[in-house]
Structure 1
Protein backbone atom coordinates (compact mmCIF):
# COMPACT_ATOMS: atom_id res chain seq x y z
CA UNK A 1 0.00 0.00 0.00
CA UNK A 2 1.54 3.29 -1.08
CA UNK A 3 0.22 6.53 0.29
CA UNK A 4 1.24 9.58 -1.68
CA UNK A 5 1.73 13.04 -0.24
CA UNK A 6 -1.47 14.99 -0.77
CA UNK A 7 -1.44 18.77 -1.02
CA UNK A 8 -5.10 18.97 0.02
CA UNK A 9 -5.57 20.35 3.55
CA UNK A 10 -6.33 17.53 5.98
CA UNK A 11 -8.25 17.75 9.23
CA UNK A 12 -5.71 16.05 11.48
CA UNK A 13 -8.15 16.04 14.39
CA UNK A 14 -10.82 13.96 12.65
CA UNK A 15 -11.62 10.51 14.00
CA UNK A 16 -12.60 8.11 11.28
CA UNK A 17 -10.82 4.86 12.07
CA UNK A 18 -8.25 5.34 9.31
CA UNK A 19 -5.56 3.68 11.44
CA UNK A 20 -7.42 0.36 11.18
CA UNK A 21 -6.98 0.50 7.40
CA UNK A 22 -3.19 0.36 7.57
CA UNK A 23 -1.34 -2.85 6.75
CA UNK A 24 -0.38 -4.83 9.87
CA UNK A 25 2.88 -6.30 11.19
CA UNK A 26 2.89 -9.24 8.76
CA UNK A 27 2.49 -6.85 5.85
CA UNK A 28 5.36 -4.73 7.20
CA UNK A 29 7.66 -7.77 7.08
CA UNK A 30 6.45 -8.67 3.57
CA UNK A 31 7.06 -5.14 2.28
CA UNK A 32 10.52 -5.11 3.86
CA UNK A 33 11.35 -8.48 2.29
CA UNK A 34 10.24 -7.16 -1.12
CA UNK A 35 12.41 -4.02 -0.84
CA UNK A 36 15.57 -5.52 0.65
CA UNK A 37 16.97 -7.08 -2.57
CA UNK A 38 17.09 -3.63 -4.19
CA UNK A 39 18.59 -1.85 -1.16
CA UNK A 40 21.96 -1.28 -2.82
CA UNK A 41 20.43 0.29 -5.95
CA UNK A 42 17.61 2.12 -4.18
CA UNK A 43 18.66 3.18 -0.66
CA UNK A 44 15.87 3.16 1.89
CA UNK A 45 15.26 3.00 5.62
CA UNK A 46 12.64 1.71 8.00
CA UNK A 47 11.36 4.20 10.55
CA UNK A 48 9.34 2.90 13.48
CA UNK A 49 7.45 5.79 15.05
CA UNK A 50 6.19 4.99 18.52
CA UNK A 51 3.71 7.13 20.41
CA UNK A 52 4.55 8.26 23.93
CA UNK A 53 1.97 9.38 26.48
CA UNK A 54 2.67 11.22 29.68
CA UNK A 55 -0.47 9.86 31.35
CA UNK A 56 0.73 6.31 30.57
CA UNK A 57 -2.79 4.92 30.13
CA UNK A 58 -3.65 2.15 27.73
CA UNK A 59 -4.79 1.99 25.01
CA UNK A 60 -3.91 5.13 23.09
CA UNK A 61 -7.18 6.91 22.26
CA UNK A 62 -8.50 6.45 18.73
CA UNK A 63 -8.45 10.20 17.98
CA UNK A 64 -4.71 10.31 18.72
CA UNK A 65 -4.04 7.26 16.52
CA UNK A 66 -6.13 8.66 13.66
CA UNK A 67 -4.47 12.07 13.86
CA UNK A 68 -1.04 10.43 13.81
CA UNK A 69 -2.01 8.26 10.84
CA UNK A 70 -3.16 11.31 8.93
CA UNK A 71 -0.01 13.23 9.82
CA UNK A 72 2.30 10.42 8.68
CA UNK A 73 0.33 9.80 5.47
CA UNK A 74 0.33 13.50 4.60
CA UNK A 75 4.10 13.71 5.20
CA UNK A 76 5.19 10.91 2.88
CA UNK A 77 6.17 10.89 -0.77
CA UNK A 78 4.75 8.66 -3.50
CA UNK A 79 7.29 5.83 -3.08
CA UNK A 80 7.12 5.80 0.72
CA UNK A 81 5.01 3.22 2.58
CA UNK A 82 3.21 3.16 5.92
CA UNK A 83 1.94 0.27 8.03
CA UNK A 84 1.41 -0.65 11.68
CA UNK A 85 4.06 -2.56 13.60
CA UNK A 86 2.30 -2.43 16.97
CA UNK A 87 -0.71 -0.98 18.79
CA UNK A 88 0.88 2.50 19.02
CA UNK A 89 3.66 2.07 16.45
CA UNK A 90 3.84 3.01 12.80
CA UNK A 91 6.31 1.43 10.36
CA UNK A 92 7.36 3.83 7.63
CA UNK A 93 9.56 2.85 4.70
CA UNK A 94 11.24 5.88 3.13
CA UNK A 95 13.50 6.03 0.13
CA UNK A 96 16.79 7.91 0.19
CA UNK A 97 19.99 7.98 2.17
CA UNK A 98 20.24 7.86 5.98
CA UNK A 99 20.26 11.67 6.23
CA UNK A 100 16.89 11.74 4.44
CA UNK A 101 15.52 9.19 6.91
CA UNK A 102 16.79 11.28 9.83
CA UNK A 103 15.08 14.39 8.44
CA UNK A 104 11.76 12.59 7.92
CA UNK A 105 11.94 11.06 11.41
CA UNK A 106 12.61 14.42 13.08
CA UNK A 107 9.75 16.02 11.14
CA UNK A 108 7.32 13.23 12.11
CA UNK A 109 8.32 13.24 15.79
CA UNK A 110 7.88 17.01 15.98
CA UNK A 111 4.59 16.80 14.08
CA UNK A 112 3.09 14.34 16.56
CA UNK A 113 3.96 16.70 19.40
CA UNK A 114 2.20 19.53 17.58
CA UNK A 115 -1.06 17.63 17.02
CA UNK A 116 -2.63 19.16 20.10
CA UNK A 117 -3.32 15.96 22.05
CA UNK A 118 -2.21 16.70 25.63
CA UNK A 119 0.75 14.61 26.72
CA UNK A 120 1.17 12.94 23.31
CA UNK A 121 4.63 12.70 21.79
CA UNK A 122 6.64 10.31 19.67
CA UNK A 123 10.05 8.73 19.40
CA UNK A 124 11.46 7.21 16.22
CA UNK A 125 13.85 4.32 15.61
CA UNK A 126 15.57 4.03 12.23
CA UNK A 127 17.23 1.08 10.51
CA UNK A 128 18.78 1.42 7.06
CA UNK A 129 17.87 -1.36 4.64
CA UNK A 130 20.90 -3.46 3.75
CA UNK A 131 20.94 -6.08 1.02
CA UNK A 132 21.29 -9.54 2.53
CA UNK A 133 19.60 -8.74 5.84
CA UNK A 134 16.40 -10.58 6.69
CA UNK A 135 13.30 -8.43 7.09
CA UNK A 136 12.95 -9.44 10.76
CA UNK A 137 16.45 -8.16 11.50
CA UNK A 138 15.71 -4.76 9.96
CA UNK A 139 12.52 -4.53 12.03
CA UNK A 140 14.41 -5.65 15.15
CA UNK A 141 17.03 -2.96 14.66
CA UNK A 142 14.45 -0.23 14.17
CA UNK A 143 12.46 -1.41 17.18
CA UNK A 144 15.59 -1.53 19.33
CA UNK A 145 16.33 2.08 18.35
CA UNK A 146 12.71 3.04 19.08
CA UNK A 147 13.08 1.64 22.59
CA UNK A 148 16.13 3.84 23.12
CA UNK A 149 14.35 6.86 21.62
CA UNK A 150 11.32 6.32 23.87
CA UNK A 151 13.57 6.21 26.94
CA UNK A 152 15.11 9.52 25.84
CA UNK A 153 11.70 11.19 25.61
CA UNK A 154 9.33 12.71 23.09
CA UNK A 155 10.94 14.03 19.93
CA UNK A 156 13.93 11.66 20.12
CA UNK A 157 15.25 9.94 17.02
CA UNK A 158 17.81 7.10 17.13
CA UNK A 159 19.33 5.46 14.05
CA UNK A 160 20.91 1.99 14.20
CA UNK A 161 24.64 2.28 13.61
CA UNK A 162 25.79 -1.27 14.34
CA UNK A 163 27.75 -2.61 17.24
CA UNK A 164 30.30 -0.36 18.88
Structure 2
Protein backbone atom coordinates (compact mmCIF):
# COMPACT_ATOMS: atom_id res chain seq x y z
CA UNK A 1 0.00 0.00 0.00
CA UNK A 2 1.41 3.36 -0.94
CA UNK A 3 0.77 6.66 0.80
CA UNK A 4 -0.30 9.48 -1.43
CA UNK A 5 1.24 12.93 -1.12
CA UNK A 6 -1.16 15.50 0.35
CA UNK A 7 -1.00 18.56 -1.91
CA UNK A 8 -3.08 20.57 0.59
CA UNK A 9 -0.73 20.19 3.53
CA UNK A 10 0.33 23.44 5.16
CA UNK A 11 3.62 24.12 6.84
CA UNK A 12 3.18 26.13 10.05
CA UNK A 13 5.85 28.54 11.23
CA UNK A 14 7.47 27.59 14.55
CA UNK A 15 6.05 30.75 16.17
CA UNK A 16 2.54 29.32 15.85
CA UNK A 17 3.59 26.40 18.07
CA UNK A 18 4.90 28.65 20.88
CA UNK A 19 2.68 30.16 23.58
CA UNK A 20 1.56 33.76 23.08
CA UNK A 21 4.03 36.39 24.31
CA UNK A 22 1.84 37.32 27.27
CA UNK A 23 1.39 33.68 28.40
CA UNK A 24 4.63 33.28 30.38
CA UNK A 25 2.82 31.00 32.85
CA UNK A 26 2.77 28.17 30.30
CA UNK A 27 6.58 28.21 30.35
CA UNK A 28 6.72 27.20 34.03
CA UNK A 29 7.33 23.58 35.00
CA UNK A 30 4.03 21.81 35.67
CA UNK A 31 2.77 19.65 38.54
CA UNK A 32 4.81 16.57 37.56
CA UNK A 33 8.03 18.60 37.51
CA UNK A 34 7.09 20.21 40.82
CA UNK A 35 6.68 16.77 42.36
CA UNK A 36 9.97 15.50 40.95
CA UNK A 37 11.93 18.58 42.03
CA UNK A 38 10.32 18.47 45.47
CA UNK A 39 11.36 14.82 45.87
CA UNK A 40 14.97 15.76 45.00
CA UNK A 41 14.93 18.61 47.52
CA UNK A 42 13.51 16.38 50.27
CA UNK A 43 16.52 14.07 49.95
CA UNK A 44 18.79 17.04 50.73
CA UNK A 45 16.53 18.36 53.53
CA UNK A 46 18.74 17.32 56.46
CA UNK A 47 21.79 19.12 55.03
CA UNK A 48 20.00 22.04 53.36
CA UNK A 49 16.92 23.30 55.21
CA UNK A 50 14.12 24.39 52.97
CA UNK A 51 10.42 25.07 52.65
CA UNK A 52 7.64 24.81 50.11
CA UNK A 53 5.26 27.67 49.46
CA UNK A 54 2.09 27.01 47.51
CA UNK A 55 0.87 30.44 46.47
CA UNK A 56 -2.75 30.57 45.32
CA UNK A 57 -4.52 33.30 43.43
CA UNK A 58 -7.88 34.49 44.70
CA UNK A 59 -10.51 36.31 42.71
CA UNK A 60 -13.64 38.01 43.93
CA UNK A 61 -15.53 37.29 40.72
CA UNK A 62 -16.93 33.93 39.67
CA UNK A 63 -15.49 33.81 36.16
CA UNK A 64 -13.38 30.81 35.33
CA UNK A 65 -10.57 30.49 34.29
CA UNK A 66 -8.34 33.36 35.35
CA UNK A 67 -7.50 35.68 32.49
CA UNK A 68 -4.18 34.94 30.78
CA UNK A 69 -3.07 38.53 31.33
CA UNK A 70 -3.68 38.20 35.09
CA UNK A 71 -1.77 34.91 35.26
CA UNK A 72 1.09 36.41 33.24
CA UNK A 73 1.30 39.44 35.53
CA UNK A 74 1.27 37.23 38.64
CA UNK A 75 3.88 34.88 37.18
CA UNK A 76 6.17 37.77 36.29
CA UNK A 77 5.95 39.38 39.71
CA UNK A 78 6.56 36.07 41.52
CA UNK A 79 9.52 35.18 39.29
CA UNK A 80 11.10 38.62 39.78
CA UNK A 81 10.64 38.40 43.56
CA UNK A 82 12.60 35.17 44.04
CA UNK A 83 16.30 34.64 44.69
CA UNK A 84 18.57 32.88 42.22
CA UNK A 85 18.55 29.55 44.07
CA UNK A 86 14.75 29.48 44.61
CA UNK A 87 12.68 27.28 42.31
CA UNK A 88 9.32 28.19 40.77
CA UNK A 89 6.77 25.88 39.19
CA UNK A 90 3.05 25.65 38.66
CA UNK A 91 1.16 23.26 40.94
CA UNK A 92 -2.35 24.03 39.66
CA UNK A 93 -4.30 26.31 37.34
CA UNK A 94 -4.16 29.21 39.82
CA UNK A 95 -1.32 28.02 42.04
CA UNK A 96 2.44 28.42 42.10
CA UNK A 97 4.89 26.15 43.94
CA UNK A 98 8.02 27.85 45.27
CA UNK A 99 10.87 25.87 46.80
CA UNK A 100 13.10 27.99 49.01
CA UNK A 101 16.34 27.30 50.84
CA UNK A 102 16.23 28.44 54.46
CA UNK A 103 13.93 28.16 57.41
CA UNK A 104 10.17 27.86 57.34
CA UNK A 105 10.02 31.26 59.07
CA UNK A 106 11.93 32.76 56.13
CA UNK A 107 9.41 31.11 53.80
CA UNK A 108 6.50 32.65 55.73
CA UNK A 109 8.03 36.11 55.31
CA UNK A 110 8.58 35.47 51.59
CA UNK A 111 5.03 34.13 51.15
CA UNK A 112 3.56 37.19 52.88
CA UNK A 113 5.62 39.45 50.62
CA UNK A 114 4.55 37.52 47.48
CA UNK A 115 0.85 37.63 48.40
CA UNK A 116 1.08 41.38 49.05
CA UNK A 117 2.95 41.98 45.80
CA UNK A 118 0.26 40.22 43.77
CA UNK A 119 -2.41 42.32 45.48
CA UNK A 120 -0.39 45.45 44.65
CA UNK A 121 -0.63 44.61 40.93
CA UNK A 122 -3.95 46.44 41.13
CA UNK A 123 -5.81 43.93 39.00
CA UNK A 124 -9.46 44.27 39.97
CA UNK A 125 -10.55 41.46 42.27
CA UNK A 126 -7.21 39.61 42.23
CA UNK A 127 -5.41 38.69 45.43
CA UNK A 128 -3.26 35.86 46.73
CA UNK A 129 -2.66 33.77 49.82
CA UNK A 130 -0.29 30.92 50.62
CA UNK A 131 0.34 27.67 52.41
CA UNK A 132 3.85 27.03 53.75
CA UNK A 133 5.47 23.81 54.94
CA UNK A 134 9.00 22.93 56.04
CA UNK A 135 10.86 20.26 54.07
CA UNK A 136 11.29 17.33 56.46
CA UNK A 137 13.48 14.27 56.09
CA UNK A 138 11.47 11.10 55.56
CA UNK A 139 8.40 12.90 54.19
CA UNK A 140 7.33 12.12 50.64
CA UNK A 141 6.81 14.75 47.99
CA UNK A 142 3.10 13.90 47.85
CA UNK A 143 2.71 14.34 51.62
CA UNK A 144 4.65 17.61 51.61
CA UNK A 145 2.48 18.93 48.78
CA UNK A 146 -0.67 17.75 50.59
CA UNK A 147 0.36 19.66 53.72
CA UNK A 148 1.10 22.84 51.78
CA UNK A 149 -2.16 22.56 49.84
CA UNK A 150 -4.14 21.97 53.04
CA UNK A 151 -2.57 25.12 54.49
CA UNK A 152 -3.39 27.02 51.28
CA UNK A 153 -7.05 25.96 51.47
CA UNK A 154 -7.20 27.24 55.04
CA UNK A 155 -5.58 30.52 53.98
CA UNK A 156 -8.05 30.86 51.07
CA UNK A 157 -10.95 30.49 53.49
CA UNK A 158 -9.59 33.47 55.43
CA UNK A 159 -9.08 35.68 52.38
CA UNK A 160 -6.39 37.43 50.38
CA UNK A 161 -3.09 38.15 52.07
CA UNK A 162 -3.25 35.27 54.54
CA UNK A 163 -0.36 32.84 54.93
CA UNK A 164 -0.82 29.62 56.88
CA UNK A 165 2.10 27.45 57.95
CA UNK A 166 1.50 23.74 58.36
CA UNK A 167 2.01 22.80 62.01
CA UNK A 168 -0.26 19.82 62.49
CA UNK A 169 -0.34 16.12 61.90
CA UNK A 170 -3.45 15.98 59.66
SS, match of residue 92 in structure 1: strand
SS, match of residue 123 in structure 1: strand
Counterpart CA distance in 1 for 2:75 and 2:108 is 19
- TM-score when scaled to structure 1? 0.89
Counterpart CA distance in 1 for 2:51 and 2:62 is 29
Out of 38, 41, 46, the residue aligned to residue 44 of structure 2 is: 38
- TM-score when scaled to structure 2? 0.86
C-alpha RMSD of matched pairs (Å) = 1.1
SS, match of residue 51 in structure 1: strand
Counterpart CA distance in 1 for 2:91 and 2:55 is 9
**Which of structures 1 and 2 has the bigger CA Rg?**
2
Counterpart CA distance in 2 for 1:104 and 1:157 is 10
Aligned to 2:144: 138
Unaligned runs of 5+ in 1: 1-14
Aligned to 1:18: 24
The C-alpha deviation readout for 1:14-50, integer Å capped at 9, x for no partner, is x611100000000000000111011111111110000
Aligned residues: 150
Unaligned runs of 5+ in 2: 1-20
